[in-house]
Structure 1
């Protein structure tokens, strides 16, 4: 996956102490901004979480000596609002951890560059933020590792692989926050962490792979079917990891229930980087601190709240499905685009609309558009039972390099009888600078050069109150390693 310069802080939560870095103030009239007084506070708040030694950005922007050679490029990217990456249209929605720059901050950076990028007085330089080492929010209550060290070759295509491990809990556990840490971050394109309650009859777990009675490796989708249900019914998503995003903490009484004896699935997509590598990704869990703190289960798909209708280029796809792309054996409850027709060559505004009917009250906590290289834009619109429309999120210039989770500043109650309409455009034309092959049809699968349609969310179903189950024997376990 291409890396673009000037990455933002992966999350403001990565920064443990920002108190010394104040908000940007406009320089006095007749003076030029300087790095130490005016620009460094902006970079320290929004950029150096990634733009520092040992992080994923291609260069550091901590010191004047770091930033000065990149001054013109910094101006170009921030004026174009390409950096820090924050795709949400500011006219719609209010979100936590909004890392976009204000127009005043952009103007300060532009004026600094136009004035020759002066350094300023060293005494004006704010204290560098303190960053967490290791786990971004302290040591988790439990850490679960992939069951094996996986070898990634220097070159070639690595098939997306499910690695299963049994959770080490003898009682049910309730999770309020969780984090994914790759063992070798540079080769993890993305990862999904899931929970499966039980293995199918006759299946065995061998070196992290689930084998059926005939010894055939089973994907989690195959596991779901063998358990007699659909992916949505049988598979619970915990968290996604992409570079720059791998921690989530749930608002209110939302969280995750991991049942005793269940299995964690590490769904790993590796991308070779020119050198042989080894990875053993970890999942860190932060438990609820008291009984009842987690009362509602988080779901990542609107499909759990009611049926979905799909329209492609204005034509309804019967039952929301067409014959599956044979290459895409997925387990995301219909998300990902499998079942949709392929994207034709050279089209630049190919439209997919999904209409998600809400059949019972839900609470929404956030949204995550997920597309691949041809993804152009995605907009979520809520229509209430009385016909009023509200744009929940609009991402008019989707960037595959940055998979942003937009957490609502306040959870939104959505009544039964509502619908959420997601409109997405794909660009398979030569005008798309990321398009590797505009002359080809594009199918739906996991690799970056294939495409994906996944209007993800974080929701809870109001009626599904976990406190109503018998919890008389449910306790939080001690910290586990």
Structure 2
């Protein structure tokens, strides 16, 4: 059981700081105001070979995507940063200030002026090769993992032998991917027990699936937007000789099949650290003994815990963990003199954006400080991340549809000599937590966990010792518009003719949500191919070439005519505002349906494992049968339309 408490994660966070921006009195221009903001906070990911779906290297690219960028900024979805302000000051914060967002909004509202091109600052210089220098050890997967184009998110664990002949201390980890577009995060687990190797399957794919692996240690992880950095001076993490590195990897499918072969570089310390990192997990063991048993429909299920420090400590960093139902995370401290200190808070937990956060300065907490944690879960139907529809009872477990939850503070004793006393107090806290759980009558399926119940659990004598959006107004399509397809042929998608309907899928090559729908679009076209319905993929990027559109269609398996609406004439005729968005046009020019394909994406950054409402299929089924569309308007979720260039 103590092995579960050995996780002391670190993670490399992006050095994309967001300094305060005073709103200028005059005109806001790209050259003077927006370029510094974008280059500092966006370009690290939005550049070639990185994870972002499009590049932001100049004025034209920023202008094209500015409206989508503003929406994601205002929603606090991008840049990705989840800790709430006022609950700890963290290194490498990617959170934009309200003033910066207001500045960007003012620029968009003003028409996105460029200003003097000569004043545009140079792009940041990004290091080539290993960003922290040549690693002391480089390891990689022995073969690629094949990622399908469509389906639910995948969690796969790759076991990589380190072949260390002696114990080592790690100061940093650097990560490289061959298909970063499908990677969301990777956790670096250590395993000296052989459990990882025992789980390997002989199905042709490397690794083993799931989230239910219990490591014996951790080296942190990588997430979208992260860049490598070393632990603070004098700190390092232990790796025992003979350990395997287990990469627990989250893949989010992009609509295109990929192959991933991960490479990891490890950096070693020359000698053991001066102070030892200790993890204070509240509650312990990710809530195993905290009666995590969430009724269906319960929106505010809560678990709290507290721990009194037996010695002075410095808090180095903090992280949290829960599964899909997790909602909020909070950790506070009450000092011996009654002073309250806010340590950490996330108000909208998202399993897809797990992070570990390092404080700008170590937070000193004196002996006698009481640290309190609070974790809440939302098992209601209103939670778009709920994997069960309708909601079901959810208990503690290691599976993706089970739940767990905990906040981990990474601390060092102010005096290294006090480290054993701190560890002893944490073991006592775990023991007391187990006793309370046993006395409550909690049940734990030890066979399912694959570990024996501890003596404290088996022997009772030991206890004595111790949303739906309103439908928009109906809009009729204008006169037929002529556009060219990728072969140069003139097409008139709005001229339905003798067909029952014309279906227009509005898309771009660089909108990840639009690309994710490519397999479903292909399936719909196939399913209704014999129903006298016309289908078109409509690209709305004014800069897209026919060759690029043709290549995109081939890569994503789009089996329908592809046209380019360079002047947004089809956009204006149908009233679409997003990609992906679909318009179904009848022979009389009426837009019978406009909106989303289905409800798989309830919001930006929010994805269901499967769609419940298949709006487009329902609309087409009704029209083919001679009926009317049951819901003629829905709200599409995706990227804003690219801004047309000034002609």
**TM-score between the two structures when normalised by the length of structure 1:** 0.71
Picking from 390, 395, 409, the partner of 1:457 is 409
Offset of 1:109 from its aligned partner?
A: 1.0
Aligned to 1:171: 166
Structure 1 pair 106/144, CA: closer, same or farther in 2 (3 Å)? same
- Aligned CA distance change for structure 1 residues 88 and 263 (closer, same or farther; 3 Å): closer
Provide Cα deviations, 1:203-234, integer angstroms capped at 9, x if missing partner: x968x9499xxxxx999989xxxxxxxx6xx8
SS in 2 for 1:302: strand
The offset of 1:63, in angstroms, is 1.8
The whole-number CA distance in structure 1 between the counterparts of 2:398 and 2:245 is 20
C-alpha contact (below 8 Å) 1:295/1:467 kept by paired residues: no
Is 1:68 aligned to residue 19 of structure 2?
A: no
Matched position secondary structure for 1:251 = coil
The reply to whether residue 116 of structure 1 matches residue 111 of structure 2 is yes
Over 3 Å counting, the alpha-carbon distance change for 1:424 and 1:38 in structure 2 is: same
Partner-residue secondary structure (3-state), 1:175: strand
Q: Residue 358 of structure 1 contacts residue 416 of structure 1 at CA under 8 Å; is this kept in 2?
A: yes
Aligned to 2:618: none
Alignment of 1:260-271 (within 5 A): 260-271=241-252
CA distance in 2, matches of 1:117, 1:338: 55
Please point out which of 221, 234, 251 is paired with 1:240: 221
Q: How does 1:239-318 map to 2 (within 5 A)?
A: 239-245=220-226, 247-288=228-269, 290-291=270-271, 294-299=273-278, 301-303=279-281
Which structure has more RCO (C-alpha within 8 Å, separation ≥ 6)? 1
Residues 117 and 436 (structure 1 numbering): CA distance in 2 closer, same or farther, change over 3 Å? farther
Query: In structure 2, how many angstroms separate the alpha carbons of the residues matched to 1:198 and 1:348?
Result: 38
1 CA distance for matches of 2:37 and 2:412?
A: 36
CA distance in 2, matches of 1:88, 1:205: 35
Q: Deviations over 1:402-454 (max 9, x none)?
A: 32332111122334443321112222334434344452124555666554423
Deviation readout 1:239-289 (Å, 9 max, x if unpaired): 12333336352113211122333333333444554554433322211222x
Native 8 Å contact 1:343 1:350 kept in 2: yes
TM-score (norm 2): 0.54
CA distance in 2, matches of 1:244, 1:403: 12
Does the CA contact (< 8 Å) of 1:190 and 1:240 recur in 2? Answer: yes
Matches of 2:327 and 2:419 in 1, distance apart? 42
Residue 252 and residue 22 in structure 1: after superposition, are their counterparts in 2 closer, same or farther (change >3 A)? closer
Distance 1:193 1:11 in 2: 15
SS in 1 for 2:123: coil
The answer for the alignment partner of 1:46 in structure 2 is: 41
Q: Which residue of 1 aligns with 2:376?
A: 425
Structure 1 residue ranges without an equivalent (≥5) = 1-9, 212-216, 223-230, 311-332, 469-481
Cα separation, partners in 2 of 1:438 and 1:464, compared to 1, 3 Å: farther
Deviation at 1:99, TM superposition (A): 1.8
Q: Secondary structure at the match of 2:353?
A: coil
Q: Structure 2 matches for 1:301-450, cutoff 5 A?
A: 301-303=279-281, 334-335=285-286, 340-437=291-388, 439-441=390-392, 442-444=394-396, 450=402
CA RMSD between the two structures: 3.9
Q: What runs of 5+ residues in structure 2 fail to find an aligned partner?
A: 1-11, 203-207, 421-647
Contact 2:318 2:356 in 1 (8 A): yes
CA contact (8 A) 1:192 1:241 kept: yes
Distance 1:187 1:67, change over 3 A: closer
1:108-257 aligned at under 5 Å gives the runs: 108-155=103-150, 160-197=155-192, 199=194, 209=200, 235-245=216-226, 247-257=228-238
Separation in 2 of the partners of 1:167 and 1:91? 41
- Work out which of the residue numbers 86, 92, 103 in structure 1 matches 2:87: 92
Q: 1:387 to 1:273 in 2, by over 3 A?
A: same
Q: Secondary structure, in 3 states, of the residue corresponding to 2:292?
A: coil
In structure 1, what is the equivalent of residue 576 of structure 2?
A: none
User: Equivalents in 1 of 2:307, 2:351: separation in Å?
Assistant: 24
How far apart, CA to CA, are the structure 1 residues paired with 2:219 and 2:75? Answer: 34
Give, in angstroms, the shift of residue 386 of structure 1.
4.6
Superposition deviation, residue 26 in structure 1: 3.8
- The change in CA–CA distance for 1:107 and 1:383 in structure 2 (over 3 A counts) is same
Aligned partners of 1:171, 1:123: CA distance in 2, in Å? 56
Q: Deviation per CA, 1:167-194, whole angstroms, max 9, x where unpaired?
A: 2333332222112333433444433222
Deviations 1:24-74 (A, max 9, x none): 5543x3x22011211111111111111223322233232221122333333
**More displaced stretch, 33-42 vs 94-103:** 94-103
1:257 touches 1:297 (CA, 8 Å); kept in 2? Answer: no
Answer yes or no: is the 8 Å Cα contact 1:345–1:438 preserved in 2: no
Return the alpha-carbon distance in structure 1 between the equivalents of residues 51 and 211 of structure 2: 30
In structure 1, how many angstroms separate the alpha carbons of the residues matched to 2:27 and 2:151?
50
1:78 equivalenced with 2:73 (yes/no): yes
- Contact 2:276 / 2:412 at 8 angstroms: preserved in 1? yes
1:379, 1:395 within 8 Å by CA — same for their partners in 2?
yes
Closer/same/farther in 2, CA of residues 38 and 167 from structure 1, 3 Å limit: same
